[in-house]
Chain A
């Protein structure tokens, strides 16, 4: 049998980092295996049974993805993941309509791939408005309305934020965009399969979907592209014209099947999962906050997805706390920015003080998280926060009633 990849044989940490990635649901793996073994045909091979059966599986998966979001199958394009979908949507729409439209609106808390796509468009001569967010992480709808210009082609706002879990007012944004006939794109990677999404109800024109955030495989995602009214895109990837010419390349049937199965399972389990995750999240937050003072929850308390909890522990260094919690897999800030020592730009955008931003930890609760795991995590967290604070001279000063902001630190 397989052993730990480092050969250590030590017990494995608990996994509480579901926003970074999720394990495959066994039902998803089960659906994929036949296409990784016996049914290996290329779904675009038109002339034999291997191709036909692979194509049938791919189209079934397409329907499963569409059903989850209230779309038509023909509106689903398979991609390599939400990063590609985001790139396609933003660059694709901007470039297609560039002769008449040169302006894009997005927010400061979007995922790096959205922000980076926008920056790259700026070098091509587009103008981008990066809307700020309020202290609770939500955008101000009045500011959105004021940001529209006569040549705005696209608004891109993520549904659920991967770092702090806040849920943007997608319905309202959709209304505002539709009224002005501007396309609305949302990165729904952290939202689909967890909260109900309907592209018609919410007036969404483009939506990015990620397989590995919803207990599906890594390396696959999808982009929803509305047909009525028609959204046109300049394709990023040229080739044989697969996926309606929008995304050439052989569709990886086993991965597409996995994404489809993940969507179907998520649809069936959404209510059950949400109820449990809400319960476990409230348990985690309540227990920690009852035991430990000076803990801040980042992001709106109400408008959020419960399974993503970002807490700042004042007077404790985030990295030290993470190291101390070595038996629990956690993160501070998102995986894609953890290489740098800079605090999260999302926390900066919601106005978190520099020191509190460095003291933040993100707890992820998912379908497979148990109450036992939550309790263990809470217990270790409380234990180490108390211990680290005991060692902190800043904490000692605060206990003595000193206002840290009044201190004049000297240079040496």
Chain B
């Protein structure tokens, strides 16, 4: 894939993960991180540029969803789960 495209994908990937870390709810946080990693891994060998374009568009839209939902999750946060401890995902 083109160098600029590759950089773009990596930027989006990092942004998605970074934003997902901000979920205060354990289950949403772990799901988002896991899902993003698995989705990017699954699509890492896609060569068709139209397909890549489409996937990037979806990723950008998902980033915006995560940004909004992280905000709400933090506004309405509650106690941690019994298995969470400081430093744990």
Task: Say how far A157's CB is from chain B's closest CB, in angstroms.
Answer: 33
Question: Given A4-B78, A11-B80, A27-B69, 20 other A-B contacts at CB below 8 A?
Answer: A1-B74, A1-B75, A1-B76, A1-B77, A1-B78, A2-B76, A2-B77, A2-B78, A12-B79, A12-B81, A12-B82, A14-B81, A27-B65, A30-B68, A33-B68, A272-B35, A327-B82, A368-B30, A368-B31, A372-B83
Q: Which of B49-89 contact A (CB under 8 A)?
A: 65-66, 68-69, 72-84
**Is A23 positioned at the interface, with any CB of B under 8 Å from its CB?**
yes
**Is B45 positioned at the interface, with any CB of A under 8 Å from its CB?**
no
Task: Say how far A109's CB is from chain B's closest CB, in angstroms.
Answer: 30
Using A26-B65, A29-B69, A30-B69 as known contacts, say yes or no to A11 and B75 having CB atoms under 8 A apart.
no
Interface size class of B (residues with CB under 8 A): 20 to 34
Using A368-B27, A368-B28 as known contacts, say yes or no to A11 and B69 having CB atoms under 8 A apart.
no
Q: How many residues of A are counted as interface, with CB atoms below 8 angstroms from the partner's CB atoms?
A: 26
Using A1-B74, A29-B72, A368-B28 as known contacts, say yes or no to A11 and B81 having CB atoms under 8 A apart.
yes
Contact with B along A25-42 (1 / 0, CB 8 A): 011011001000000000
Do the beta carbons of B76 and A3 come within 8 Å of each other?
A: no
Task: Tell me which residues across on chain A come within 8 A of B73, comparing CB atoms.
Answer: 26
Contacts from B to A (Cβ < 8 Å):
26-28, 30-32, 35, 38, 65-66, 68-69, 72-84
Task: Say how far A323's CB is from chain B's closest CB, in angstroms.
Answer: 16
Task: Tell me which residues across on chain A come within 8 A of B75, comparing CB atoms.
Answer: 1-2
Task: Tell me which residues across on chain B come within 8 A of A15, comparing CB atoms.
Answer: 27
Q: Which of A10-64 contact B (CB under 8 A)?
A: 10-15, 23, 26-27, 29-30, 33
**Is A373 positioned at the interface, with any CB of B under 8 Å from its CB?**
yes
Do the beta carbons of A23 and B38 come within 8 Å of each other?
A: no
Closest residue of chain A to B75, judged by CB?
Answer: A1
**Can you list 24 residue pairs at the A/B interface with Cβ under 8 Å?**
A1-B77, A1-B78, A2-B75, A2-B77, A4-B78, A4-B79, A11-B82, A11-B84, A12-B79, A12-B82, A14-B83, A26-B28, A26-B69, A26-B73, A27-B65, A30-B69, A33-B68, A272-B38, A327-B82, A367-B31, A369-B27, A370-B27, A372-B83, A373-B83
**Is A229 positioned at the interface, with any CB of B under 8 Å from its CB?**
no
Task: Tell me which residues across on chain A come within 8 A of B28, comparing CB atoms.
Answer: 26, 368
Contacts from A to B (Cβ < 8 Å):
1-4, 9-15, 23, 26-27, 29-30, 33, 272, 327, 367-370, 372-373, 376
Task: Tell me which residues across on chain A come within 8 A of B68, comparing CB atoms.
Answer: 30, 33
Do the beta carbons of A3 and B78 come within 8 Å of each other?
A: yes
Nearest 7 A/B pairs, CB to CB: A368-B27, A26-B69, A1-B77, A327-B82, A11-B82, A2-B76, A30-B65
